[in-house]
Amino acid sequence: MWSSYSPRHAASLLGLPESTVRGLARAGVIAGSELPLKLSFRDLAALRTIKGLITGGVPLARVRRELIALRRRLGDGASIAELPLEVRDGHVAIRGEAAPLVGQLSLPFAALPAPVPTGELHALPTRPLEVPEPAPALTGDDWFDRAIALEEQDGAAAIDAYRRALRLRPDHIEAWINLGRLHAEAGASAAAAECFGHALALDPTDATALYNLGVVAQDDGREADAIVYYTRALELDPALAEAHYNLATLFDQSGDSRSAIRHINEYRKLTR
């Protein structure tokens, strides 16, 4: 039996993108940010629980945010794997607790007696029929704003909204990047890379698009390509902390401890 798992091994066992596993570790939901990053069997069980929440319809971004809040509430030593988590009303909840983790309250209402009708009956007043004016067509920016609002509620609807935005505004870099991110989170790496490539074609100096191409390459096992993308991203934006973190993991796996230490130290400086 394995006593520890690399992010890639854990991701392949559970059918999750490796970037999702690394992101959850960086956020403190599982394991920690120390390198080399090794996941325990308890971390693997926590990831299995998290995958169940995502499969249950809770978007990854919401799962991450609500589990971070839960970890802060529980303090050190507690594990997500030990909690009876479930999906309730589109949010993460602990089985047996009255409200989901977002702090929603359910307030009881006292039953009121039904009103007793009195007096005479009156006809409803009538008014001339008004023909409503046609609603204005949504612009590309309108669809982009709608897609952002939909991301935490319905990932498929958000993808559709981003596609509509891009049909109207093919030069919308942020829409290409956000659409690519949703594809990557769903495990569609080819579609994600295509979106990031479109963004980079529009602006070759976009560090976010380069970084995201690095994430896709790393998830696909193309470590050399990932290093090139992360390095180019950092040349454009040296404050891109997550690029330093991912480079540290890649250099650590390849045995280049000196480069790994340099990048993890830069990551710590930027996130301190």
* pLDDT tens column, 104-138: 333 233 333 444 444 555 555 556 666 666 656 88
Give the whole-angstrom CA distance, residue 253 versus residue 214.
16
Give the whole-angstrom CA distance, residue 20 versus residue 108.
39
Which 3 state secondary structure label does DSSP give 17?
A: coil
Q: Residue 137: its pLDDT value, please?
A: 83
Which tens digit of pLDDT belongs to each residue from 181-232?
999 888 889 999 999 999 999 999 999 999 999 999 998 989 999 999 999 9
Q: Residue 162: its pLDDT value, please?
A: 95
The first and second tokens of residue 88, run together, are 């309730």
- 146-237 CATH, one of 3.30.565.10, 1.25.40.10, 2.60.120.10, 3.30.70.260: 1.25.40.10
Give the whole-angstrom CA distance, residue 166 versus residue 65.
28
Q: Name the packing angle between helices 207-219 and 223-236 (round to 10°).
A: 160
Domain boundaries, the chain: 7-94, 146-237
The first and second tokens of residue 241, run together, are 């902390």
Phi and psi dihedrals of 126, rounded to 5?
-110, 155
What mean pLDDT comes out for the span 71-100?
Answer: 74
Which tens digit of pLDDT belongs to each residue from 131-187?
666 656 889 999 999 998 888 778 889 999 999 999 999 999 999 999 999 998 888
Q: Specify which residues 86 forms β-bridges with.
A: 93
Give the whole-angstrom CA distance, residue 42 versus residue 94.
18
Per DSSP, helices labelled H in 85-188 are 140-150, 155-168, 173-185
- Mean pLDDT score of the chain: 80
The band of 233, judged by pLDDT with boundaries at 50, 70 and 90, is: very high
- 7-94 CATH, one of 1.20.120, 1.10.150, 1.10.3470, 1.10.1660: 1.10.1660
| % of the chain residues with pLDDT over 70 | 81
Pick from 3, 16, 39: nearest CA to 249: 39
The first and second tokens of residue 176, run together, are 């290409």
Give the whole-angstrom CA distance, residue 227 versus residue 212.
12
End-to-end CA distance of the chain: 36
- With contact defined as beta carbons under 8 Å apart, do 81 and 42 qualify? yes
Which 3 state secondary structure label does DSSP give 38?
A: coil
Q: Residue 45: its pLDDT value, please?
A: 83
One fold for both 7-94 and 146-237?
no
The band of 62, judged by pLDDT with boundaries at 50, 70 and 90, is: confident
